[in-house]
Chains A and B, each alone.
Chain A
Amino acid sequence: MAILVGGLGCSHVPSIGAALDKGLMQTPDWKPFFDGIGPGRDWVAAQRPDIAVAIFNDHGNAFFLDRVPTFAVGCADRYEIADEGWGPRPLPAFDGDAAFGWHLADTLVANSFDPTVLQEVEVDHGLQVPMELFWGRPAARWPVRVVPIFVNVIQQPTPLPSRCYAFGAALRQAIDSFPGDARIVVLGTGGLSHQLQGARAGFVNPAADRAFLADIARDPEKLASMSREDYVRVFGSEGAELIMWLVMRGALDRAVRVCHSHYFVPASMTGVGMLVLENAAKAI
C-alpha cells in the first residue's frame, strides 16, 4: 500500500511568487523569509514523494460564485497554470494522479464526505507558491504528481474546522488503502494571520501565528475545536483559511515530530509559516 511520508504546512501568499519571479529572494524585505525555507526543501529532496496531496483554495481563478464547492478533489492527470490577470507565471503545468484522485473521492464518499469531482481545472498561486517553496522551480517538469483538494474559505458558509480535521482522517484512510507503493506527502496551505478586507485590513497576529505552528503539532484538537468566528477574530478574515492545515494534520498520526518550523512576518500583509511534520512512529 502507499506510504505516508509526512505532512507539510505552508503559506501561499502571491507576493512570494512575485518575489520568486523577480529574483528578490536576497533583498532585505525577503531574505529573512527565504533563508528559512532550506530545511523544508531538503526534507522533500530526501523523502522524494511521488504524490503531493495539496489542500488549498482558489482565489477567483477556477471557480466563480455561480458554483462554490465546499470540498473538491482533482481527478485529472494534468493541471494548467492559471492566468490570474497578469499572464500565467513561468511554471510548468502540474502532472496529476487521476488514479489516486478517484480513489480519494471513493474513500471520502464512503466516509460520508461528498466532494465535487474535478477534471479540467486551472490552479493558481494557492498551489503554485507552496509547491515552488518545497520543490524549487523545475526547468521542464515537476518531480512529483499533484492531487489538489480545493476548500471553500471565501464564501460563507465555510466548513467547520472540526470537519476539516475529520476530512484529513478520511484522506489518511485513502492513502493507507491505495494499492502500490507510492510515497505520499500531504500539504496544507494558506495563512497565517492576515486580513485583506474592511477597515481592519492589515491585521496580523504574530503571537497567535507562533502558537498555531506549535499547536498544530502537539494539540490539533484545540485548533479543530475552535469556531469559524474564532479563526476570523484571531487570524483575520483571510487568515481564517488556516483551517486547511487541519486537513493535513488530520491525515497524520496523533503523535508527530516537528522536523522544521519557520515563521516570518510580514510577507506583503501576511504572517507566513513553513512546517514539516512526520509521524512519530515513522522510522528516522
Chain B
Amino acid sequence: MMTLASYLFISFALFAAGVAVIIARKNIIAMLLGIELMLNAAALNFAAYTRFLNNNYEGHIMSLFIIVIAAAEAAVGLAIVIRFFQIRDSIHVDDATQLQS
C-alpha cells in the first residue's frame, strides 16, 4: 500500500540526491543532472499531493509544465556547456575561475 508519506519520502530522497550531486560533483554535466533530479522531485510532489489530498488537477498541470520547462532549460544549459568546452577544453567547474576578483 503506497501512502502519501512514501511518495514524499521518495521525492525528498530525490531532492537530497540532487543537492548532494551538485555539491559533491565537479563535472558540469553531472551538476545539470543533479538539477534535473531536484526538478523531478518537485514534479513528483505535485503529482502525489494531487492524487492523495486534492480533487483538482492543478498539481498534474504543474508537473507537466515542470517536465517541459526542465527540458528547455537542459537544452540551453547543454548548449552553453558545449560552448564552454570548445573554448576551455574542459567541463570541470574548477576551470571556470576566470571571473573572480
Are both chains from one complex?
Answer: no
